[in-house]
Amino acid sequence: MAILKILKYGDPVLRQKAKEVSKISKKIRILIENMLDTMYAANGVGLAAPQIGESLRIFVIDVSAENEPYKPLVFVNPKIIKKEGAICVKEGCLSFPEAYVNVRRYSDVMVKALDINGKPFIMEAKNGELLAYAIQHENDHLDGVLFVDHSRNIFEATEVLKANNLPQLEDDKLLNEEDLESIILENEAKNKEEGR
Ligand code: NI
């Protein structure tokens, strides 16, 4: 198997909308295996096909802890079919080395996809667990959306990108997430009141 080159922020492929996979051929299966090898070699939690220059609707995730055996998850032609709740999380991305930024995400998602054998499945991730926001992060890559577009604090994001010699935020890509922001603010106020 092979370790592929990961495209960095600024590469136009990362902004393209990826195409559906029409058939899980041997070539696609090899691509998926190589994506997993590449993700593990880079110590990543997830990797989407556009990040290795293939504009296809495929991503892989592994949220197992360091001392646990690998638990690779493969998503082909995924669709998020339910999303609710909101959280603020600090995310990174293999296409943004060393840059970690606070972003807004749904806390609960349900995704439907095909596995590496073309078998459909549904997966649910809840309560703001890593899998919940990893699914959203990777699924975004398939639509040319990047985690920094969800930045909760654009001043912070600007500084982090600058400090890591990465291209700046693209103003026209920033997402308006007032609904998520108000839920996050409400939860923060609640936690403060409860002394958490
Ligand atoms: Ni990413």
**pLDDT at residue 195, rounded to an integer:** 79
The per-residue pLDDT for range 4-26, each reduced to its tens digit, is 999 999 999 999 999 999 999 99
**pLDDT at residue 1, rounded to an integer:** 77
Cα–Cα distance, 163 to 144 (Å, whole number)? 24
Tokens representing residue 172 in the block: 């026209």
Measure CA 120 to chain center. 20
Cα–Cα distance, 170 to 56 (Å, whole number)? 23
Cβ pair 104, 180 in contact under 8 A? yes
The letter for the amino acid at 187 is N
Ligand 1 centroid from CA 118, angstroms: 24
Q: Active site residue: 54, 98, 138, 194, which one? A: 138
The per-residue pLDDT for range 137-183, each reduced to its tens digit, is 999 999 999 999 999 999 999 999 999 999 999 999 999 999 999 99
**pLDDT at residue 27, rounded to an integer:** 97
Q: Is 42 a residue whose pLDDT tops 70?
A: yes
Ligand 1 centroid from CA 196, angstroms: 31
The per-residue pLDDT for range 44-60, each reduced to its tens digit, is 999 999 999 999 999 99
> pLDDT band at residue 196, thresholds of 50, 70 and 90?
low
- Residues near ion ligand 1 (Cβ under 5 Å): 93
Ligand 1 centroid from CA 69, angstroms: 23
Query: Residue 56: beta bridge partners?
Result: 19
Task: Write the CB contacts of 70 (distance below 8 Å, at least 6 apart in sequence).
Answer: 40, 62, 64
Cα–Cα distance, 161 to 76 (Å, whole number)? 30
Half-sphere exposure of 195 (CA within 13 A, CB side): 0
% the chain with pLDDT above 90: 95
Annotated catalytic residue 181: no
The per-residue pLDDT for range 55-110, each reduced to its tens digit, is 999 999 999 998 899 999 999 999 999 999 999 999 999 999 999 999 999 999 99
